[in-house]
């Protein structure tokens, strides 16, 4: 069986008939043979979405939302099947696979509720016998381009708000997780999404993604992925003045103050840095540690890191799964070598694991560096793997300065028992998300999600903020005076 594109309400092979394989990163198992599309398939999908838009936008939003409610219920009933597939196709351990799917369910239920809100505003008009209000209008055809690290959750962050707001969608998932994307679209089809409203095109970013970004009938690109690819998307889209929302890389830090509960901090660090094998946009990859507790924290971390078990994420005994593919593994290990070369002190890990439970997949040992200078590459660039850099500081001010001196600005956390430190950090940290006495991960779907600086271009996903990406404001004035009234001018007469 070949996993196909979904265009105009039909499952179709790519026009060229080309295919590629989706591989389990833990053991090389082939998860599925998948259609490999090109610009001609993109053209069909965009045309289908453009044709479906005029009628979909007129379906009352509460009716659109009913389809999302049904989709969330189907996801819930298939949670375990989907979670196992997340682990097999992407590699994260099964409890995190369940978390990924649950986040998708939460987002779908939450967004379905927007069908009965989609709030605009009414406000007084400045002239008598005149009524003023603003409403949200859908934008048109949305291209949703997603990464592999949250293969169910992230697509729901884009598809659900786009659809409930009345847009039609062409969905291009990451080439590492196409089978999960197929499953999600199957679920929306079963929930009753009309033909052409949601389309799926599977294939490489350089071809399918690029064709979507350039297509004149795509009105909005919602992209999550690397900063390098996101920049290219924004440049290309700007030629046609398209709307673009970008969610990109992170270089997130945990600050540990000298008054912190160190055991709690260690729990937060292990979860944030090595959970999902460090492949979260919000993963902690810098520890900014008060020098008074640096040695003790390092010793405790080395103990805990040394006990982490690598292996297939389907096994209950596994703490850390594989990285997603061979090129990510090379990239991660390249950063470890760069760190050593730049003079950082390797405390534990630092090697690729290719024996025992790791023999058939792409595994890197959880790694911790000490004596890291904030300007080193391992402290500045996104590694997207289980590699953490410890930087010593001597005050909260210095900690915040180091935290903020990053080209990225997604998530930060501080461990402290001092309420004044906590509030100063909340005020002065300049990332889009800040946690106090928790790690850098754990976003909830009803709050805005996104980052500053190189992480994004000013938008926020999730919560009601997502609607600002997927709608345009329309201001409506109704004059019931029966005569011509002139704003700003009649006030003087
Ligand atoms: P990526 O390589 O940039 O790919 C992301 C998506 O873009 C994939 O679907 C990819 O397709 C596609 N793509 C690649 N080149 C393209 C092009 N020229 N034009 C249009 N689309 C293109 O990123 P990734 O490796 O999948 O994901 C990891 C990155 O995502 C990390 O940097 C991480 O921080 C970031 N991320 C950010 C957030 C956030 O909310 N801020 C959340 C999760 C992940 P192919 O897969 O076919 O190459």
Asked whether residue 323 falls in the same domain as residue 183, the answer is no
Work out which ligand 1 atom sits closest to the CA atom of 230.
3
Instruction: Say whether both 184 and 220 belong to one domain.
Output: yes
How many angstroms does the Cα of residue 426 sit away from the middle of ligand 1?
29
Alpha helices in 239-368 (DSSP H): 262-274, 291-306, 326-342
Domain CATH code at residue 319: 3.40.309.10
Domain assignment present for 292: yes
Ligand 1 atom at minimal distance to the Cα of residue 172: 9
Is 443 among the domain residues? no
Cα separation, 446 vs 437, whole angstroms: 20
Cα of 230 vs centre of ligand 1, distance in Å, is 7
Ligand 1 centroid to 394 CA: how many Å?
A: 37
Asked whether residue 194 falls in the same domain as residue 273, the answer is: no
**Can you give the pTM of this predicted structure?**
0.97
CATH number of the CATH domain containing 199: 3.40.605.10
**Domain containing residue 197:** 2-248+456-476
419 contact partners, CB below 8 Å, separation of at least 6? none
> Is residue 317 within 8 Å of 368, Cβ to Cβ?
no
Q: Whose CA is nearest to atom 28 of ligand 1?
A: 225
Residue 139 and residue 117 share a domain: yes
DSSP state of 310: B
41 lines ligand 1 (CB under 6 A): no
Given 384, 408, 436, which residue is the final one in a domain?
436
pLDDT tens, residue order, the chain (493 aa)? 899 999 999 999 999 999 999 999 999 999 999 999 999 999 999 999 999 999 999 999 999 999 999 999 999 999 999 999 999 999 999 999 999 999 999 999 999 999 999 999 999 999 999 999 999 999 999 999 999 999 999 999 999 999 999 999 999 999 999 999 999 999 999 999 999 999 999 999 999 999 999 999 999 999 999 999 999 999 999 999 999 999 999 999 999 999 999 999 999 999 999 999 999 999 999 999 999 999 999 999 999 999 999 999 999 999 999 999 999 999 999 999 999 999 999 999 999 999 998 999 999 999 999 999 999 999 999 999 999 999 999 999 999 999 999 999 999 999 999 999 999 999 999 999 999 999 999 999 999 999 999 999 999 999 999 999 999 999 999 999 999 999 888 876 5
Residue 285 Cβ < 6 Å to ligand 1? no
26 plus 8 within the same structural domain: yes
The residue to which tokens 């970013």 are assigned: 205
User: 220 and 92 share a domain?
Assistant: yes
Q: Are 387 and 369 in contact (CB under 8 A)?
A: yes
To which H or E segment does residue 285 belong? strand 284-290
What pLDDT is recorded for position 243? 97
Which residue from 22, 225, 284 has its CB within 8 A of the most atoms of ligand 1, so it is best to mutate?
225
Is there a single domain that holds both residue 171 and residue 228?
yes
Residue 484 lies inside a defined structural domain of this protein: no
Known catalytic residues? Answer: 247, 281
155 shares a domain with 42:
yes
Q: Which of 321, 435, 333, 439 is nearest to 383 (CA)?
A: 333
Ligand 1 pocket member 409 (CB < 6 A): no
- Whether the CB-CB separation of 186 and 81 falls below 8 Å is answered with no
**To test the ligand 1 pocket, which listed residue (34, 178, 229) has its Cβ within 8 A of the most ligand atoms?**
229
Same domain, 184 and 261: no
Residue 362 within a domain? yes
If asked whether residues 86 and 112 sit together in one domain, one would say: yes
349 ligand 1 Cβ < 6 A: no
131 and 188 housed in the same domain: yes
How many domains are contained in the chain?
Answer: 2
Radius of gyration from C-alpha coordinates of the chain: 24
In 3-state terms the chain splits into helix, strand, coil percentages (rounded to 5) of 40, 25, 35
For residue 445, being part of any structural domain is answered with no
Closest-CA residue, ligand 1 atom 15, reads 205
Same domain, 30 and 65: yes
Q: How many helices (H) and strands (E) does the chain have?
A: 15, 24
**What residue's CA is closest to ligand 1, atom 22?**
205
In a domain, 492, yes or no: no
């Amino acid at each position: 069986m070949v996993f196909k594109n979904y265009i105009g309400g039909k499952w179709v092979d790519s026009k060229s008939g080309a295919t590629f394989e989706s591989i389990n990163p833990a053991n090389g198992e082939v998860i599925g043979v998948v259609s490999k599309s090109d610009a001609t398939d993109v053209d069909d999908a965009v045309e289908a979405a453009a044709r479906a838009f005029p009628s979909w936008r007129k379906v009352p939003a509460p009716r659109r939302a009913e389809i999302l409610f049904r989709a969330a219920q189907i996801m819930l009933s298939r949670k375990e099947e989907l979670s196992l597939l997340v682990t097999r196709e992407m590699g994260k351990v099964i409890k995190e696979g369940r978390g990924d799917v649950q986040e998708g369910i939460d987002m779908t239920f939450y967004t379905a509720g927007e069908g009965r809100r989609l709030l605009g505003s009414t406000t007084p008009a400045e002239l008598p016998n005149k009524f003023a209000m603003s409403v949200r209008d859908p934008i048109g055809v949305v291209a949703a381009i997603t990464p592999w690290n949250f293969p169910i959750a992230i697509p729901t962050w884009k598809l659900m708000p786009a659809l409930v707001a009345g847009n039609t969608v062409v969905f291009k998932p990451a080439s590492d997780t196409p089978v999960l994307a197929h499953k999600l679209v199957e679920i929306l089809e079963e929930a009753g999404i009309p033909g052409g409203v949601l389309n799926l095109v599977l294939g490489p970013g350089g071809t399918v993604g690029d064709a979507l970004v350039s297509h004149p009938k795509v009105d909005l690109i919602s992209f999550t992925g690397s900063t390098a690819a996101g920049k290219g998307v924004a440049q290309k889209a700007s030629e046609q003045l398209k709307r673009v929302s970008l969610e990109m890389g992170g270089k997130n830090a945990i600050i540990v103050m000298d008054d912190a509960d160190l055991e709690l901090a260690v729990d937060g660090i292990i979860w944030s840095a090595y959970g999902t094998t460090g492949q979260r946009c919000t993963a902690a990859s810098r520890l900014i540690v008060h020098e008074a507790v640096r040695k003790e924290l390092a010793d405790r971390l080395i103990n805990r890191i040394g006990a982490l078990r690598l292996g297939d994420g389907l096994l209950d005994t596994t703490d850390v799964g594989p990285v997603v593919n061979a090129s990510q593994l090379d990239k991660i290990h390249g950063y470890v070598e760069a760190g050593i070369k730049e003079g950082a002190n390797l405390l534990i890990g630092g090697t690729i694991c290719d024996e025992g439970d790791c023999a058939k997949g792409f595994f890197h040992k959880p790694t911790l560096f000490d004596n890291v200078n904030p300007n080193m590459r391992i402290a500045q660039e996104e590694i997207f793997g289980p590699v953490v850099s410890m930087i010593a500081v001597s005050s909260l001010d210095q900690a915040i300065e180091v935290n903020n001196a990053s080209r990225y600005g997604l998530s930060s956390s501080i461990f402290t028992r001092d309420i004044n430190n906590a509030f100063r950090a909340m005020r002065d940290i300049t990332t889009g998300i800040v946690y106090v006495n928790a790690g850098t991960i754990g976003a909830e779907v009803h709050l805005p999600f996104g980052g500053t600086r190189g992480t994004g271009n000013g938008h926020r996903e999730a919560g009601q903020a997502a609607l600002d990406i997927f709608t345009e404001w329309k201001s409506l004035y109704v004059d019931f005076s029966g005569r011509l009234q002139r704003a700003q001018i009649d006030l003087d007469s």
